[in-house]
Amino acid sequence: MADEKKGFFRRLVNGLSKTRDNIVAGIDSIFSGFSSIDEDFYEEIEEILIMGDLGVNTTANIISELRAKVKELGIKQPDECKQLLMDSIKAQMDVGETAYEFEEKKSVVLVIGVNGVGKTTFAGKLAGKLKDQGKNVVLAAADTFRAAAGEQLEQWAQRAGVPMIGGQEGADPASVIYDAIAAARARNADVLLCDTAGRLHNKKNLMEELAKINRILNKECPDSHRETLVVLDGTTGQNALSQARQFREVTDITGIVLTKLDGTAKGGIAVAIQSELGIPVKYIGVGESIDDLEKFNAEQFVNALFHVKTEE
């Protein structure tokens, strides 16, 4: 456990180093650069949070909470605000116990998202992770639209050492899902992991196709635990909120996967999504190799964001 924790933290710190540099450099300079808590001080914080992609609403919430606490606790020193601000953001992100019980149950995991966010890569990584845990996994390649999407997942399936069910390019993804369900049954699989085509959330037909896939899974696998994960690109700005909202209309989203957090992406959108939609971020992708997938941990995420050492 200690190892895993360390591993997680190191990865996050590495992955988020840029994020941290940007946000923390700013925040540190505020905490030391101001001698009193005034309007300019709040405005500066606001600016930094917005530049971290937290969004106007979430930033406003955080600031107003901070103001209230500063008043309530009679805080006078800007640096005392740092812990307060962190606690406040943690509170925003905290949606109770994040659930990973699907990893232990017989479950069906549906992976959805817009184009190019890293769904196939995530599906491949998760398959590898579950396989390592000794689970019997079946991958379904329901992206029959994009050129070579099936081949891409096939390579991940080989890396992970799990079987994959696919279809011809242009085939009905629903038929792939049916085949995969049958295959999962025949193999008595623990987890059926379904990769889907990227679709922009404002395309009615594609969203209907997704709703259909969702219905099939509900109908055919009533006893399985259902997990629907929306993959969001960590570099995406406020549109990620719109994506999460729209996908929630056609499926019951149980969690979010935030990818590409190894760049300078601020990852602040994770805060906005948790606070505005209450959907927990469950995994983060911090690289391109099969091990670069981590469970999300709000506490450590915020700590890493502000570069505070966690006890190991």
Among 110, 240, 253, 270, binds another protein (CB under 8 A): 240
Q: What is the distance between the alpha carbons of residues 206 and 198, in angstroms, rounded to a whole number?
A: 9
Q: What is the distance between the alpha carbons of residues 281 and 82, in angstroms, rounded to a whole number?
A: 24
Q: DSSP class of residue 12?
A: H
**Number of residues forming the site for another protein (CB under 8 A):** 45
Q: Are 168 and 143 in contact (CB under 8 A)?
A: no
Binding mask 44-73 for another protein (x = CB under 8 A): ---x--xxxx-xx-----------------
Q: What is the distance between the alpha carbons of residues 272 and 197, in angstroms, rounded to a whole number?
A: 25
In whole angstroms, the minimum distance from the beta carbon of 118 to another protein comes to 6
Q: Which of 16, 34, 6, 74 is nearest to 268 (CA)?
A: 16
Q: Are 37 and 75 in contact (CB under 8 A)?
A: yes
Query: Is 91 among the residues that bind another protein (CB under 8 A)?
Result: no
In whole angstroms, the minimum distance from the beta carbon of 124 to another protein comes to 8
Q: DSSP class of residue 169?
A: T
Q: Which is nearer to another protein, 23 or 81 (CB)?
A: 23
Collect all residues with Cβ–Cβ distance below 8 Å to 182 and sequence separation of at least 6.
Answer: none
Q: Which of 67, 47, 87 is nearest to 266 (CA)?
A: 47
Among 44, 87, 94, 169, binds another protein (CB under 8 A): 169
Q: Which is nearer to another protein, 217 or 241 (CB)?
A: 241
- Contact region for another protein (CB under 8 A) — 91-99, 127-135, 140-148, 274-282? 140-148
Binding mask 194-233 for another protein (x = CB under 8 A): ------xxxxx----------------------------x
Write down the residue that tokens 């996994």 correspond to: 137
In whole angstroms, the minimum distance from the beta carbon of 224 to another protein comes to 28
Q: Which is nearer to another protein, 134 or 170 (CB)?
A: 170
Among 156, 247, 296, 306, binds another protein (CB under 8 A): 156
Collect all residues with Cβ–Cβ distance below 8 Å to 306 and sequence separation of at least 6.
Answer: 20, 23, 24, 27, 82, 86
Per CB under 8 A, residues contacting another protein are: 18, 47, 50-53, 55-56, 114-118, 145-149, 151-152, 154-156, 169, 200-204, 233, 235-240, 242, 260, 262-266, 269, 288
